[in-house]
Structure 1
Amino acid sequence: MKKTVVYLMLVFVLVLSACSKNEEDNANQGSVNDGETSNEFGSIDHGVDENKVGFNLSGGEIEEAADVPAEEKTALMEAFDTYIHAFNAQDVDEYMRTLSKNPQSFSIDEERTYIEGVFGEYEISRDAKDVTIVKYDADKGEAQVFSNLDTTLKQKSSGLETNRTGRQVTVFTKEDGNWKVTSVYYMEDQPSGEAK
């Protein structure tokens, strides 16, 4: 039972992210004492580099970027909603259309193969709250969207269900006039009362 829960937690973390290839930042993660799931599949970068992500996931107040034009804010929020909706609907093609053609931290082909497998094995639902654009750079055509996520993961074969909460920064880049996901950084909340 414990192995199944650990496996589900690992799958959960993998599902919530695009594939990360930055091994240097992963050197001290996934250990028994740091409270994070191992990155053995390399699909998420828990060691959030604030030079890459303009927001600290470890807590603090969420401040909306002040320089976002109204039309870009609307377009970014719609892109984020489509990304979440495609994931919740387990629509692989729609989900893949939300991703950048030139992602920063994952491979398009590997992501498709991975997500097809996960959607085949699990029922997954994510509820995004406090969705806020925390960084916007018109010159680079890049934006970062923060959200608190409540996720339910249910294994189809066993019915085993896991619920998790965490914080995510979804990095978008503008391609052909549309906002696309180029990388995702996620930090899971520690359950209250859990030893650290």
Structure 2
Amino acid sequence: MNMKLKIMIPALLAALFLGACGGGDGDNQNTTDDGTAPTGENSAIGHGVEDGAGPEEDGEGIGFGMTDGNIEEAANVPESEKAAILETFGKYMETFNNEDPDGYSAVLAEGEDGFDVEEEKKAMQELFAAYDVDRSAENETIVSYKDGEAQLFSNMTTTMTSKSSEEARTEKGRQVTVLAKVDGIWKVKEIYYIGDAA
């Protein structure tokens, strides 16, 4: 069974924070294999994000290629589509940081190949009840573009602050956000994230 790996960002962030705080030695206790992040169809960390791992020819691969330490941008992206993809990614980031479950879910693709929007809203509300979260992205680069689907690489920085203890944790990582054109509008379809080693 070919099941695509996905994550729910709110659940993943909580797992990263709780796992890191539970370690006690300051090391990032979370890897793509250690089971501290949520598992299941809609909450598993994507294992396809690796340095030098470019998308496969059939379009099924997820990843990015690097040349001299720089991310390679896809050469075939029309400027109008690039602008629309970056706009959707910007809304995805903005609505999350603004704690706007309705706005956030509006940028998600729904259904079998996308997200369970109601579960995403619920997870987001639970996360923000316990934490203040700020996420920022740098080096947003479209690394693959084909047949109404795009993969956008970014370096992510996430700071979570517990509302009860005021303890803060900052996590850096790399993310490939898969976007699909749904009824003429770009939507976030899948998210693959890997945290940097501490």
Class of the TM-score when normalised by the shorter of the 2 chains: 0.7 to 0.9
Residues 130 and 147 of structure 1 are in contact (CA less than 8 Å); yes or no, is this contact kept in structure 2?
Answer: yes
1:148 equivalent in alignment to 2:155? yes
For the aligned residue pairs, the C-alpha RMSD in angstroms reads: 2.8
1:99 aligns to what? 108
Aligned residue identity for 1:29: D
Which of 156, 165, 190 matches 1:183? 190
Aligned residue identity for 2:47: G
Question: What pairs up with 1:59-138 in 2 under 5 angstroms?
Answer: 60-102=69-111, 104=113, 106-137=115-146
Aligned residue identity for 1:153: M
- Structure 1 residues 8 and 112 mapped into 2: Cα distance closer, same or farther (>3 Å)? closer
State the alpha-carbon separation in 1 of the partners of residues 112 and 188 from structure 2: 7
- Give structure 1 stretches of 5+ with no counterpart: 1-6, 14-27, 32-36, 192-196
Residues 65 and 72 of structure 2 are in contact (CA less than 8 Å); yes or no, is this contact kept in structure 1?
Answer: no
- Give structure 2 stretches of 5+ with no counterpart: 1-11, 19-31, 50-54
Give how far 1:55 is off.
Answer: 2.0
State the alpha-carbon separation in 2 of the partners of residues 77 and 129 from structure 1: 12
Which deviations, in whole Å up to 9, do the C-alpha atoms of 1:116-144 show, x marking residues without a partner?
A: 1112211110110000001001x2x1001
Residues 44 and 184 of structure 1 are in contact (CA less than 8 Å); yes or no, is this contact kept in structure 2?
Answer: no
Any idea what SS the aligned residue of 2:108 has? coil
Size of the aligned set, in residue pairs, is 164
Which of 159, 165, 171 matches 1:158? 165
1:170 aligns to what? 177
Higher mean alpha-carbon deviation, 113-122 vs 97-106, is at 97-106
Percent identity between matched residues is 40
